[in-house]
Amino acid sequence: MKLSMQHNNYSIHYFMKAMLILLISFTLLFVFTSCEKDLKLKYNNNEIKQVIIANLYPGSYLNINISKSKRPDDFSSVEFLQNCKVDLYENDIFKETIPFILKDTLSGLGYYTSTFKLQQNKTYKIISTHAELGTAEATEYLPSNPAIVNYALLQHADSAHPNIPGQYILAFQDSAQFNNYYFLSTYYRISKPTINDAGDTIYKYDYIGVPSYTPDIPNPGNFARSYTTDINFDGQLTSFTVNFPSQYNNVYKEILLVIELSNTGKNFYDWNVQQLRLGTDYLNEGQLERLNLKSNIINGYGHFTANSSVYIGIPIK
C-alpha cells in the first residue's frame, strides 16, 4: 500500500512536469509565430532608373559606369548600358558628349570616358539620356589638394620594439574661401612573399589599413578613414597629433607607411559618411548597414563624387 502511494506520487510529479514543459512550448510557439508578418513589396516600372557610378580625380580622365537598376525580386545579372548619350559640362560650359570605350572590366564591358583630364577647383556636371529610362544628371565640385605644411613621424614599432603604438604629427592650412570636407587615412604598403605557379618565392605589394585617432578628426567606429568637415579649423593653420596601431613584421621585405589627407567634394563626404556602419558585429547591436542611401543623382541612383588627395610615404623597412 505504501509502495503504491509512492508510485502514484511519482506519476503525478512527472505528469505535472510534462504539462509544464508542454505549456512553455506552446507559449514560445505562440510568441514566435505571432510576431510573423507578411511584407508585400510595392514597386512599379517607374522605379527602374539609371545607376551612375563615378568618382572624379584631378589630372585623370573621367570614367563613368552606367547600369540599369533592378527590382528586389529580380535576381538576373546587372545590365550595363552602352547606349546612353552622356554630356559633360565644366563650370556650366558644355565640353563634349563622352564616348563609350569598350573594355573588359569587372564593372561591365567598359566606361564612358572623357577625352580630356579633369582639373581642380572646377565643377563638373553630367547629363545622361537613355531612350527607355529618361534623363539622369549629377553635379560635383572637384576641390584642390589639401595644403600640408609639415609632418613628422614621432614613433613607430621596429624589430626591437614591435608593440610600440605609432604616432605622427600633421600640419595643414585650411582654406577660408570654401566649405571643405576631409578624410584622413593611415595605411601600409607592404612587399610580402608569395609562391608563384612555378613554386618560386616572389614578392608582391599589398596594402594594410589601420584606424587613425586624433581629437581633431574623431573616429569612434575605428574605421580606416576618418571623416570631418572644416568646422574645427575653418581657415586656420592646424597641427594635430595622430595615434595609430603601428605594425612591424620581419617577414615583409618592404614596409612603407602611407598618410593620406584628402579634400573631398560635399557629395563624396555625404555619400561615404552615411555608409559608416552603425555598430560592431560582436555586440549584436541590430542593423549595422544603412539603408535608403541618398545621392546626388537626379532621377537615378549611384554616386557622382570627387576627391583630391595628398600622399605622404614614410619608409619603415
Edge-first strand order for the sheet with 134-142 is 93-98, 85-90, 122-130, 134-142
For residue 269, the model assigns a pLDDT of 94
Indicate whether 114 and 155 sit together in one domain. no
* Range with the poorest average pLDDT among 10-14, 115-119, 197-201, 211-215: 10-14
Cα–Cα distance, 21 to 30 (Å, whole number): 14
| Amino acid at residue number 227 | Y
pLDDT at 2 over 70: no
pLDDT at 24 over 90: no
For residue 232, the model assigns a pLDDT of 82
> Average pLDDT for residues 266-291, to the nearest whole number?
69
pLDDT tens track for 31-48? 555 555 555 555 555 589
For residue 103, the model assigns a pLDDT of 76
Indicate whether 104 and 124 sit together in one domain. yes
- 93, 122, 142 — which closes off a domain? 142
Question: Which candidate, 262, 248, 251, places its Cα nearest to that of 315?
Answer: 248
pLDDT tens track for 74-132? 788 888 999 999 999 999 999 999 999 987 666 567 899 999 999 999 999 999 999 99
Q: Give yes or no for a contact between 85 and 136, defined as CB atoms under 8 angstroms apart.
A: no
Cα–Cα distance, 52 to 62 (Å, whole number): 13
What does the DSSP 8-state code read for residue 217?
Answer: B
Task: Judge whether 183 lies within some domain.
Answer: yes
> Average pLDDT for residues 280-285, to the nearest whole number?
52
Which domain CATH number covers 55? 2.60.40
Task: Judge whether 69 lies within some domain.
Answer: yes
Question: Which candidate, 314, 296, 313, places its Cα nearest to that of 305?
Answer: 296
Indicate whether 95 and 169 sit together in one domain. no
Which range marks the domain in which residue 114 is found?
45-142
Cα–Cα distance, 65 to 112 (Å, whole number): 7
* Range with the poorest average pLDDT among 24-33, 156-165, 225-234, 305-314: 24-33
Task: Judge whether 156 lies within some domain.
Answer: yes
> Average pLDDT for residues 41-66, to the nearest whole number?
85
Under DSSP, is residue 102 helix (H, G, I), strand (E, B) or coil? Answer: strand
Q: Give yes or no for a contact between 70 and 76, defined as CB atoms under 8 angstroms apart.
A: yes
Residues 6+ apart with CB under 8 A from 170: 148, 150, 151, 184, 239, 240, 242, 259, 261
* Range with the poorest average pLDDT among 125-129, 160-164, 291-295: 291-295
Q: Give yes or no for a contact between 71 and 115, defined as CB atoms under 8 angstroms apart.
A: no
Q: How many Cα atoms are found within 13 Å in the side-chain-facing hemisphere of 51?
A: 14
Residues pairing with 312 in the sheet:
259
Indicate whether 116 and 209 sit together in one domain. no
Task: Judge whether 12 lies within some domain.
Answer: no
pLDDT tens track for 243-259? 999 989 888 999 999 99
For residue 15, count other CB atoms closer than 10 A to its CB.
10
For residue 223, count other CB atoms closer than 10 A to its CB.
16
Indicate whether 96 and 166 sit together in one domain. no
How much is the mean pLDDT over the chain?
A: 85
Q: What is the domain count for the chain? A: 2
